[in-house]
Amino acid sequence: MAHTRTLDEINNKIDSGAARIMTVQEIVDAARSDHPIAFEDVDVVTTATKGLMSGIMGIFSLRLSPPKTLRKFTDISLNGIPAFPGPCPNEFLGIADFIIYGTSQSKTREMYAGGSLFRDLVEGKQISVTACSSEGTVIEMDITLEDMQYARMMGTRQAIKNYNAMINPTSHPVDTIFSVLPFKPGNSEITFSGCGALNPFQNDPEFESIGVGTPVLVNGSKGMLVGPGTRNYIKKPNMMTIADFKDMKPEYMGGFKTSYGLEPICSIAVPIPILNQRIFDNVVKSDKDVPLTILNLVGREKLGEITYGHVWNDNYMVAFDPSKCEECDDCLAVDHCPTQAFHKSEGIDRSRCFNCGMCAITCTCEDAFDIDLKSVNFNGKDVPIVLRQSDRHGAIKLANRLKAMILSGEFTLNEPVSPLKFAERVK
């Protein structure tokens, strides 16, 4: 008998409390055990990814002056980050609509960019706004997210169907968004991105269960899959989403320092209803079934291929043992933590930690940090992984959150309004 079920049947089971919902990590773990999961055992799988997503932006609307006083606002910045006023001019309304990129760097604060601002807003922090009207009047005020009339995050390219590993075959170090320190030359280190078997598109590569209008979680806030994102193509799909800032959780977002500026962190979770055997056969695939391409950092040509099984294997979190810390005068682990999560006296701030491994790489003591970053055989040489640019632990947490929200009725599964269509190739 063919294995199928409809979304209505699944929703009825959720309503009656009989639905079997699992995170994809639970599926991966079960597949390795003596009790692998069968089609009958699972109705919905929650998938997730947490990584650097350069394409995110904030779309905001904020009152800056009483109505009828100023024509429109032509320059706006938040904590020194330049915004793009408009597109609506809101003439004589005293209201400014504006957009801020997650990658825009502050002109007044060191190591502060759009991703950092978005997290500060969600944390309820006070934000300094400077705005100049077309008449030349300058307005300065402090606001919080509560003062915004509208605050949504949109992503032009998110949750890419996994990503790549990077290596530098040149003879010189390279400053790049793919490293925290200048990327060492001579194929001597590797960095990688992608949550492997957890990635939403990895679990439904034919887009049978998700589509335009599918409800998703963006940084913990209920949002919507709007459609394909930029530079999408069928073999490397990505998505565009929109969600309200007001329900986001700070631990899933922020700024991440690279050797070429700050990148924004974003986390997406997508429910995959198990409608047929094909979908099921994909969700039970493990990290070993998911290819990870090694690219030349300069030029992006393919230099090798491994799988996510080579980089992920129950090694998702970093641990710090303060008793092993040698109390160095100059702590490189603090200096190079890309999210400012590590402090010598307080240890690791788990709400900021990205589990990237940089502290373990830069700490002068071998035992203070514990994380299994692994190494990769490249051209017969063992090359160490020195940085993860995806946080699998954070993605697992978000997939668990989505599972709990579905079970409690807080998150409802809907039919997409239309299928996702991707380009055959990038032009």
From the list 75, 281, 321, 326, which residue makes contact with ligand SF4 (rule: CB under 6 A)?
A: 326
Q: Which of 386, 358, 369 is nearest to 325 (CA)?
A: 369
Asked if residue 422 binds ligand SF4 (CB under 6 A), the reply is no
Part of the chain binding ligand SF4 (CB under 6 A), chosen from 88-96, 319-327, 374-382, 417-425: 319-327
β-bridge partners, 23:
46
Q: What is the CA radius of gyration of the chain?
A: 23
Subset of 363-402 contacting ligand SF4 (CB under 6 A) = 363-365, 368
Asked if residue 193 binds ligand SF4 (CB under 6 A), the reply is no
From the list 143, 328, 404, 423, which residue makes contact with ligand SF4 (rule: CB under 6 A)?
A: 328
The count of residues interacting with ligand SF4 (CB under 6 A) is 26
Rounded CA-CA distance 81/117 in Å is: 8
Asked if residue 331 binds ligand SF4 (CB under 6 A), the reply is yes
CB of 347 to ligand SF4, least distance (A): 9
User: What is residue 182's DSSP assignment?
Assistant: P
What the block records as the tokens of 269 is 């979770």
Query: Cis peptide leading into 87, omega within 30 of 0?
Result: yes
Asked if residue 132 binds ligand SF4 (CB under 6 A), the reply is no
Asked if residue 358 binds ligand SF4 (CB under 6 A), the reply is yes
SS3 196: helix
Which residue type occupies 212?
Answer: V
Asked if residue 181 binds ligand SF4 (CB under 6 A), the reply is no
For residues 262 and 113, the answer to whether their CB atoms sit within 8 Å is: yes
Part of the chain binding ligand SF4 (CB under 6 A), chosen from 52-60, 225-233, 302-310, 347-355: 347-355
CB of 166 to ligand SF4, least distance (A): 17
SS3 134: coil
Asked if residue 160 binds ligand SF4 (CB under 6 A), the reply is no
Rounded CA-CA distance 425/311 in Å is: 28
β-bridge partners, 217:
222, 269
Nearer to ligand SF4, 98 or 320 (CB): 320
Interface ranges with ligand SF4 (CB under 6 A): 318, 325-328, 331-333, 337-339, 341-342, 344, 348, 353-359, 363-365, 368
